[in-house]
Structure 1
Amino acid sequence: MGVAFDPYGFHEVDADPYPVYARLREEAPVYRNEELDFWALSRHADVVGAFRDPGRFSSANGPLLERRAWGPQAQEAMSFIAMDPPRHTRMRRLVSRAFTPRRIADLEPRIREIARQHVAAALERGSFDLVADIAAPLPTDVISELVGVPEADRADVRRLADTALHREPGTREIGPDGVAALLELVGHFAAIVADRRRRRRDDLASALLDAAVDEEPLTDDEIIAFVHLLVGAGNETTTNLIGNAWYWAWRHPGQRAKAFAGRVPDWIEETLRYDTAAPLQLRTLTKDVELHGVPLPQGARIVLLPGAANRDPRAFERPEEFDIDRDTGRMATFGSGPHYCLGASLARLESRIVLEEMVGRLADFDLDPAAGRRPYSAYVRGFASLPMTATPR
């Protein structure tokens, strides 16, 4: 019997998708799912090649499989990750003027202050949920402050973002609750942009309004779509990166000792490779292509699997080992080419600070993954809940 891959098969795939990914790479590097109408690419060279070839592997219909989300309307919620050049080029250039590396770096003192608050409160209790009490609220607080979301609205924004990504077991489309959450999120961000248009503040929403220097400025709808993308994708990436890093360090005591001895950045990079928090993206073919002897027609929906690419033995030695000594420079986690993740540096910064604060305050800890749970989503991999106990120093 041949390999079968259903990204919505949560119990079969999400608990441990890597055996399926390995079979895809070896048995069906161009895999066809007739029911869901997609082809999947799992080998490192193919995934990275597609990321770097927007002329053939288009993002214009968005990165999501669901028919309600796939199509030209995807840009309304997914901003420039649902665009191709030259529209993508203009949008990314303008957004980058406001979302600068310096602006991100300047956040470090405030991120550390927020992290210390969450970590101290959790450790004081002794037993807590790593995700609910630390990994999820921190990026929500940071991105909300960066964007300009009022403090009273932040928990609701996080809830709505989670609801929009959640899929009920057995379902393959965004449900009514998810659609309602998306619309409510857009309402939150529209109110912020309208307020900043009347009165600028020291936040990203204001900076985006002033990003244009010698060209047409961003419209309100374009700013709202980018903020929606940042809040949704930014929260999920950091939350799952923190949870995955802590889980795999717990599972590998030898690697944990290295990580806890001052190598948090290496720990983060190997976690990004080993257990990719965003394991699936979609592209649409703009012309006929042949890969591995398989003809792919123009208009075909192509699922790219960076999570599979990151464990391809053609790209990494001993890819199934969690090893923070390895060179992770070729990983496909944040994409490649013109769509390389704009928020990668923020996710790394937030995760580094949280992990440093936890390592510096812990004398001992234990996890209970059996009591935890994973999110029901084809697009994020990590933990929705991860109970743990900790002894402070």
Structure 2
Amino acid sequence: MSDLAPLDESITLQQLDEDPYPIYQRLRNEAPVLRVKATGRTMLTKAEDTKYVKDNPELFSSDDPNTPMKRAFQAHTLMRKDGEAHMRERMAMAPAFSPKVIRTDWMPQYMRVAEEYVARLPRGEIVDLFPALSGPYAARGLGILLGIEEASDDDLQRWSQTLIDAAGNFGWRDEPFEKSDTANAEMNTLFDSLHERHLAEPNNSALSVMLNADDPIETMQIYSNIKIAIGGGINEPRDALNTILFGLLTNPDQLRQVKQQDDWERAFEEGIRWVAPDPGLVTAGDGGYGNPWFPYSEGRYGHDHSGQRQPGRGPL
């Protein structure tokens, strides 16, 4: 049997939260596969390794019972399921995200929200786009898409961040879970109140298509799906928008080129390559690919936002 990955006891959760990139750079060079005691996970920081684990789900499973996500969401979410179980819950809301529905329903709505929210920005002064535009814009668009327009922008953003904080609470502190318990209760109450409207007036929103399905998934899994969308559907577009704006505004030559060529799609692609999310998986059985060996049920994180910054590598 190959050796286990080395164990690091010096890296802290605070360091990874405040500025992980110098750590990732060092690990890519010195220990690209490393067990980190503070996280209880094996960290993979090189592009080829993160790609390998994503391409081999039979060895690296999403079904990790030891992450804080189940406690945070009060549910075993589709993000921690594989195969048919994952696909059933994923496909339950897939009609809301079909290319046709995106084109006919959501694009006009998102454009309307964008025009409205940009128009209300103050003029002639410095503006913090994070709270003034990017966050509210992402929240309002998602609320419409999910069919929970009754939730305010502030509530959606608060719920999203609360779920993120609790799902990432690898230190298992009480406070993040107490906040997520409150958020879950608020969301469940709202979702309960929306059944009548969506059953009486079916539409293409995620909540409506799941409630009106011929063979609907369980109610709490419907709610879990909506919460997953809230947890990742605000911060991801918000941060992508901020990243792209920052990149263009600090590189005027690239901004000019994008404007001249009307090539905003490439700007988007570069923005999400530059700052990428990370998947978390667990080994489904003893195995590996050379060194090191991953024992059964070993949690690991493939740090795509490290691999994306690896010299000589393109998008993963």
The TM-score with structure 2 as length reference comes to 0.84
Cα distance in 1 for residues equivalent to 2:309 and 2:165: 26
1:273, CA displacement in angstroms?
0.8
Go from structure 1 to structure 2 and tell me whether the alpha carbon gap of 1:233 and 1:101 turns closer, same or farther (over 3 Å shift): same
SS in 1 for 2:83: coil
Higher relative contact order at CA 8 Å, sep ≥6: structure 1 or structure 2?
A: 2
- 1:52-110 CA-to-partner distances (Å, cap 9, x unmatched) read 22221111127xx7x5435xx78854632221112112222332233312111222222
Q: Cα offset for 1:26?
A: 2.0
The residue number in structure 2 matching 1:383 is none
How many pairs are equivalent?
302
* AA at the equivalent of 1:200: E
2:305 aligned to which of 296, 304, 307: 307
The DSSP-based 3-state class of the residue aligned with 1:39 is: strand
CA contact (8 A) 2:258 2:267 kept: yes
Greater share of helix: 2
Q: Which runs of 5+ in 2 are unaligned?
A: 1-6
Instruction: State the secondary structure of the residue aligned to 2:313.
Output: coil
Task: Show the counterpart of 1:251.
Answer: 250
How far has the Cα of 1:43 moved from its partner? 1.5
Shift of 1:209: 2.4
User: 8 Å contact 1:190–1:224 — kept in the other structure?
Assistant: no
Question: Are 1:47 and 1:304, in contact at CA under 8 Å, matched by a contact in 2?
Answer: yes
Aligned to 1:207: 209
Q: Which one of 79, 82, 88 corresponds to residue 80 of structure 2?
A: 82
Give runs of aligned pairs for residues 7-26 of structure 1, distance below 5 A. Answer: 8-9=13-14, 12-14=15-17, 16-26=19-29
Q: Give the counterpart letter for 2:292 in structure 1.
A: V
For residues 125 and 132 of structure 2, the distance between their equivalents in structure 1, rounded to whole angstroms, comes to 12
* CA-CA distance at 1:230 after TM superposition: 1.1
Superposed, 1:37-186 pairs within 5 Å as 37-61=40-64, 67-69=67-69, 77=75, 79-106=77-104, 107-124=106-123, 126-151=125-150, 153-166=152-165, 172-173=171-172, 174-186=176-188
**1:123 deviation in Å?**
4.2
Look up the match of 1:337.
none
Decide whether aligned partners of structure 1 residues 127 and 152 sit closer, same or farther in structure 2, where only a CA change above 3 A counts: same
- 2:3 matched to which residue of 1? none
Paired position in structure 2 for 1:266: 266
Deviation at 1:114, TM superposition (A): 0.8
In structure 2, the CA distance between the partners of 1:3 and 1:75, relative to structure 1 (3 Å rule), is: closer
Over 3 Å counting, the alpha-carbon distance change for 1:8 and 1:146 in structure 2 is same
Query: Identity of counterpart residues, as a percentage?
Result: 21
1:117 partner SS: helix
Amino acid in the other structure paired with 2:189: G
1:105 maps to a residue whose letter is: R
Distance 1:52 1:78, change over 3 A: farther
Q: How far apart, CA to CA, are the structure 1 residues paired with 2:253 and 2:8?
A: 34
Instruction: Give the counterpart of 1:30 among 25, 29, 33.
Output: 33
Distance between the aligned counterparts of 2:119 and 2:12, measured in 1?
37
Following the alignment from structure 2 to structure 1, what is the Cα–Cα distance between the partners of residues 10 and 197?
46
| 8 A contact 2:46–2:310 mirrored in 1 | yes
Hey, what's the Cα distance between the residues in 1 that align with 2:50 and 2:33? Answer: 11
Q: Could you say if the C-alpha distance between residues 219 and 200 of structure 1 is closer, same or farther in structure 2, counting changes exceeding 3 Å?
A: farther
| 1:250 to partner: Cα distance | 2.5
Contact 2:134-2:242 within 8 A present in 1 as well: yes
Return the alpha-carbon distance in structure 2 between the equivalents of residues 259 and 145 of structure 1: 29
**Distance change (3 Å), C-alpha of 1:283 and 1:44:** same
Q: Does the residue aligned with 1:287 lie in a helix, a strand or coil?
A: coil
Letter matched to residue 244 of structure 1: T
1-structure distance, mates of 2:220, 2:275? 34
Corresponding residue for 2:4? none
Counterpart Cα distance in 2 of 1:313 and 1:185: 43
1:296–1:204 CA distance, 2 compared to 1 (3 A): closer
- Give the CA deviation at 1:180: 2.2
Give the aligned CA root-mean-square deviation in angstroms: 2.8
AA aligned opposite 1:310: Q
Q: CA deviation at 1:33?
A: 0.9
* 1:302, distance to aligned residue in structure 2 (A): 0.7
Q: Contact 1:47 / 1:309 at 8 angstroms: preserved in 2?
A: yes
The amino acid that maps onto 1:188 is L
